[in-house]
Amino acid sequence: MKVSIIAVGTELLFGQTVNTNATYLSENLNHMGFDVMYHFVVGDNPQRLKEKLADAFSDTDIVLLTGGLGPTQDDLTKEMVAEYMGVEMYLDQRVVDDLRDFFRKRGGNMAENNFKQAYLPVGCTPLYNASGTAPGFALSRNGKTAICFPGPPRELKWLWEHGARQYLEQLTDKKMYYRIIRTIGIGESDLEMLLMPLIDGQSDPTIATYAKEGECTLRVASQRKDSDDARKACDEMMARIMELAGKYIYSTDDEDLNEVVVRMLKDKGVLISSAESCTGGGFASSITDIAGASSVLHSSYVTYSIDAKVKLGVPEDIISEYGVVSRETAVSMAEALKNVSGADLCISITGYAGPEADPGHDAGEAFIGYVYKNHKAAVRVLTNRNDRRWNRNYFILRMMRAVYMLLSDRADEIE
Amino acid sequence: MKVSIIAVGTELLFGQTVNTNATYLSENLNHMGFDVMYHFVVGDNPQRLKEKLADAFSDTDIVLLTGGLGPTQDDLTKEMVAEYMGVEMYLDQRVVDDLRDFFRKRGGNMAENNFKQAYLPVGCTPLYNASGTAPGFALSRNGKTAICFPGPPRELKWLWEHGARQYLEQLTDKKMYYRIIRTIGIGESDLEMLLMPLIDGQSDPTIATYAKEGECTLRVASQRKDSDDARKACDEMMARIMELAGKYIYSTDDEDLNEVVVRMLKDKGVLISSAESCTGGGFASSITDIAGASSVLHSSYVTYSIDAKVKLGVPEDIISEYGVVSRETAVSMAEALKNVSGADLCISITGYAGPEADPGHDAGEAFIGYVYKNHKAAVRVLTNRNDRRWNRNYFILRMMRAVYMLLSDRADEIE
């Protein structure tokens, strides 16, 4: 079944608020097997809302609306939906009681305009809101269904879990199952070429590729009458994808690479430490983004200057002979780090994030060094970009990838 | 002038990607004086894109499109726009050369489908993309203007700054001049109250407040026939704002706080270092995000475990007596850091980012310690949130704010 989402709120059109509600609803609707066809955003303007409501219903039978249910004059979503559906409004006594209760508990007087929130369209299924003051509702009439949610994401999520999802479940008979596969080390076009035998002539399951920063994501999705069938079809397709592109896949469950790496470090009981120059602490920060990182990272070093590298234990000779951005310095940083930190897996980076680089070098050049078990080496990374932020993020991803390969006993594939 | 934004991409309708591009473009369009009327999101489907393109152009003369410019089969935005505008496509030689160059530098072969990106609508103004492979373009015909951007936010921002904004500036005969003022240490409502004498009855320049994560931004904008007049009106208003709210303003030029801090460190010749626990290197990473940070940060430490703090030089007694998350440990970390790093300004943090916290503590509690000139102290931060990512970002902002205050000789205002 096809669904549109209309978000109502001038703050979205001003760029003050990101439309995360549409993302949340879309993800959940897709899980349930609904096809989300459109998102719309309109301001707090009754005429334009009315037009977009008609547009949305012309293509889809179900429209979810967010925002514009509050007590102020420009909150008009409910009224427009009732008008479109051709029903009157009624005063819902339970909402009145809930509102009185809410304000009494807070010890405040209820402003008169709050009663506006207690009016609902005749014939609707109210979605009483225990996480805020504005109720939502679901209303089906003549084969069309509208579900209205308040704008604050926390309240919207509460109403989704407490009534809206259940209301929608009654409306559908198809079940969707999908998996998100994360890859590294291959571009979108190459991945698509590699999987062409599977993508070509696809109907169900479908395979789609998405480029993300420095990596590529695959979605495998199946929609069947039976959820076990959908799952089975996806699993079979996943097995064929693994055969063709397995070496590039690091997660079949939409995990970020740092999540996967921290889990592997924990599982293997490996302690990690980093000595970072051009990434300036970004690698350690990415590891410690993950809850529970304290069991795998005890300390880390930002050795930004030559002096800091020497203090860590890199011989001055190495730096003067090979240069501060060199394979030899990177390896030596990892070795020195091993002595200082005592960690099992030591990783280092020295390079030029940009815009500046020393003579004979380009911004975007870096060496990643590592010491782990019997592996001790460094690899050169060259981005050919002079974009400091991009380079730093990409260097961190490449460090993470090197750690992933070391932990997977695939050191020979580090690049 | 009225604008619509159409984001193209099934990943948005699947809820995998948040439509931050629409937010970014909306904010910038509003700053320039354009009225954003609608956001639309459609999947990678030519028919539905065509329909929404027609819908958008029926209400607004300018439509910005994001996504669907890549090399794969489902990237169809360009083709649909050309069809709507009634123009053919041509092979742009510069894009072909850029693509060849890009792939040659990476030492890889270019997949054949990449050439798809080199086709552009006849008569368009190409927006050559130095931050990625897919070019954008602007195309005006019969009073209608379409501007197409690639989907990756970084590339979109690059093209906005390098061509798209300038193209839009030509379309409007009114000249908008605006300044973005960044503040810290004051909430949106308080700032609005403070500036009420200026905001009340405003016509031109206008003053608008926007709440951002942990801070508040002001926009002063004037729209006149003559750009010098607009500039002069803004400058006069700015002077009045400085009188009323100067102490909260850290940038009158839309700079991030880390940019301002690094510039101040450079100007004053102050060397900084950090010892980070719960932020895990995020503060050092934020400082080194700024080009030229090597002259102000030589080394930095992630002392995540108790052992790492002791190794830095924090007496074990302090930790056992006051606890690892305490004012005393934070100060001691900054003192130890001063000895180890020799930096002029030493800042430390110890706390709970969440979800876990030791008994008697809450996630979201941290102590920021500092040593600079004759200042040596720590402040407590309490977010009352159990959101690891949010807490870590907020802690880093508070550290940055403390450094800003120290460098501004306003240590007594650190909180």
- Per-residue pLDDT reduced to its tens digit, B268-320: 999 999 999 999 999 999 999 999 999 999 999 999 999 999 999 999 999 99
Residue of A nearest to B39 (CA): A41
C-beta atoms of B299 and A291 within 8 A: no
> Which chain A residues are within 8 Å of B52, Cβ to Cβ?
38
Q: Looking at the partner chain, which of A188, A285, A384 has a beta carbon nearest the beta carbon of B70? A: A188
Q: What is the DSSP letter of A147?
A: E
* Residue entry with tokens 């970004």: A282
Residues B30, B36, B40, B46, CA torsion sign: negative
Strands (E), A43-171: 62-66, 89-91, 119-121, 125-127, 136-141, 144-149
Structure confidence at residue A14 (pLDDT): 87
Whether the model clears a pTM of 0.95, i.e. scores above it, the answer is no
Retrieve residue A130's tokens: 């225990």
Query: What does pLDDT average to in each consecutive run of 10 residues of chain A (415 residues)?
Result: 94 90 92 89 93 95 93 85 96 92 75 85 95 90 96 90 92 81 87 91 85 80 87 95 94 94 98 98 98 96 97 97 97 98 97 92 96 97 89 95 95 88
Nearest in space to B223 (alpha carbons), one of B37, B64, B30: B30
Q: How far is B38 from chain A (nearest CA, A)?
A: 5
Give yes or no for a contact between A6 and B25, defined as CB atoms under 8 angstroms apart.
no
To the nearest whole number, what is the mean pLDDT of chain B?
Answer: 92
Collapse the DSSP code of B185 into the 3-class scheme (helix H, G, I; strand E, B; otherwise coil) and give the result.
coil
CA distances from A58 to A30, A33, A37, A63, A135 (A): 21, 21, 12, 10, 26
Backbone angles phi, psi at B220, to 5 degrees: -110, 120
DSSP string, B201-240: T--SSEEEEEEETTEEEEEEEEEESSHHHHHHHHHHHHHH
Report ipTM for this prediction: 0.80
- The mean per-residue pLDDT over the stretch B86-107 comes to 89
> Which chain B residues are within 8 Å of A356, Cβ to Cβ?
291-292
**Measured distance CA(B95)–CA(B36) in Å, rounded:** 31
Q: pLDDT at residue B248 above 70?
A: yes
Q: How far is B125 from chain A (nearest CA, A)?
A: 24
Nearest in space to A2 (alpha carbons), one of A66, A60, A86, A57: A60
CA-based max dimension of chain B: 78
> Which chain A residues are within 8 Å of B278, Cβ to Cβ?
288
Q: What is the DSSP letter of A110?
A: P
Q: What is the DSSP letter of B96?
A: H
Strands (E), B230-297: 249-251, 272-276
> Which chain A residues are within 8 Å of B38, Cβ to Cβ?
13, 40-42, 48, 52
Q: What length is written for chain B?
A: 415
Q: Looking at the partner chain, which of B22, B105, B285 has a beta carbon nearest the beta carbon of A384? A: B105
Retrieve residue B96's tokens: 């072909």
CA distances from A147 to A139, A150, A158 (A): 6, 10, 14
Residues A118, A120, A126, A129, CA torsion sign: negative
Phi-psi domain of A247 (left: phi exceeds 0; alpha: psi -120 through 50; beta: other): alpha
Question: What are the CB-based long-range contacts (under 8 Å, 24+) for A252-258?
Answer: A252/A179, A252/A181, A253/A179, A253/A180, A254/A179, A254/A180, A254/A181, A254/A182, A254/A217, A255/A182, A256/A182, A257/A182, A257/A184, A257/A215, A257/A397, A257/A400, A257/A401, A257/A404, A258/A286, A258/A287, A258/A289, A258/A290, A258/A400
Q: How far is B372 from chain A (nearest CA, A)?
A: 20
C-beta atoms of A289 and B114 within 8 A: no
Tally C-beta pairs within 8 A across A and B.
252
Structure confidence at residue B386 (pLDDT): 81
Q: pLDDT at residue B26 above 80?
A: yes
Q: How far is B285 from chain A (nearest CA, A)?
A: 5
Q: Looking at the partner chain, which of B18, B354, B356 has a beta carbon nearest the beta carbon of A20? A: B18
- The mean per-residue pLDDT over the stretch B152-157 comes to 92
Most A CBs within 10 A among B39, B117, B206, B399, hence the mutation to make, goes to: B39
Q: How far is A98 from chain B (nearest CA, A)?
A: 27
Nearest in space to A5 (alpha carbons), one of B390, B13, B113: B13
Q: What angle do CA B312, B317, B321 make, to 5 degrees?
A: 125
Between residues A356 and B371, the one the model is more confident about? B371
Residues A44, A48, A50, A56, CA torsion sign: negative
Backbone angles phi, psi at A34, to 5 degrees: -80, 150
Query: Any chain B CB within 8 A of the CB of A22?
Result: yes
- The mean per-residue pLDDT over the stretch B228-257 comes to 93
Give yes or no for a contact between B119 and B75, defined as CB atoms under 8 angstroms apart.
no
Query: Any chain A CB within 8 A of the CB of B178?
Result: no
Residue of B nearest to A36 (CA): B13
**Measured distance CA(B273)–CA(B283) in Å, rounded:** 10
C-beta atoms of B131 and A279 within 8 A: no
Retrieve residue B246's tokens: 């100067």
Q: What is the DSSP letter of A118?
A: G
Give yes or no for a contact between A310 and B320, defined as CB atoms under 8 angstroms apart.
no
% of chain B beyond a pLDDT of 90: 72
- The mean per-residue pLDDT over the stretch B247-267 comes to 95
**Measured distance CA(B410)–CA(B415) in Å, rounded:** 11
**Measured distance CA(A65)–CA(B123) in Å, rounded:** 40
Residue type, B79: E
Strands B375-382 and B365-372: what pairing?
antiparallel
> Which chain B residues are within 8 Å of A307, Cβ to Cβ?
298-299
Type and span of the H or E element at A301: strand A299-303
Q: Looking at the partner chain, which of A27, A210, A354 has a beta carbon nearest the beta carbon of B15? A: A27
> Which chain B residues are within 8 Å of A23, Cβ to Cβ?
12, 15, 17-19
Nearest in space to A92 (alpha carbons), one of A64, A76, A116: A116
Residue of B nearest to A43 (CA): B37
Q: Looking at the partner chain, which of A36, A188, A311 has a beta carbon nearest the beta carbon of B13? A: A36
The residues pairing with B4 across neighbouring beta strands, listed in sequence order, are: B38, B63
Query: Any chain B CB within 8 A of the CB of A393?
Result: no
Structure confidence at residue B212 (pLDDT): 67
C-beta atoms of A289 and B13 within 8 A: no
Query: Any chain A CB within 8 A of the CB of B284?
Result: yes
CB hemisphere CA count around A200 (13 angstroms):
5
Q: pLDDT at residue B335 above 90?
A: yes
Q: Looking at the partner chain, which of B14, B18, B40 has a beta carbon nearest the beta carbon of A30? A: B14
**Measured distance CA(B105)–CA(A362) in Å, rounded:** 12
**Measured distance CA(A324)–CA(B249) in Å, rounded:** 40
Lowest average pLDDT, out of A202-206, B234-238, B345-349, goes to: A202-206
Residues B326, B327, B328, B329, CA torsion sign: positive
Query: Any chain B CB within 8 A of the CB of A242?
Result: no
Phi-psi domain of A364 (left: phi exceeds 0; alpha: psi -120 through 50; beta: other): left
Residues B348, B353, B358, B362, CA torsion sign: positive
Structure confidence at residue A213 (pLDDT): 66
**Measured distance CA(B138)–CA(B64) in Å, rounded:** 9
Query: Any chain A CB within 8 A of the CB of B288?
Result: yes
* Residue entry with tokens 């930190």: A341
Structure confidence at residue B214 (pLDDT): 67
Query: Any chain B CB within 8 A of the CB of A175?
Result: no
C-beta atoms of B355 and A276 within 8 A: no
Collapse the DSSP code of B309 into the 3-class scheme (helix H, G, I; strand E, B; otherwise coil) and give the result.
helix
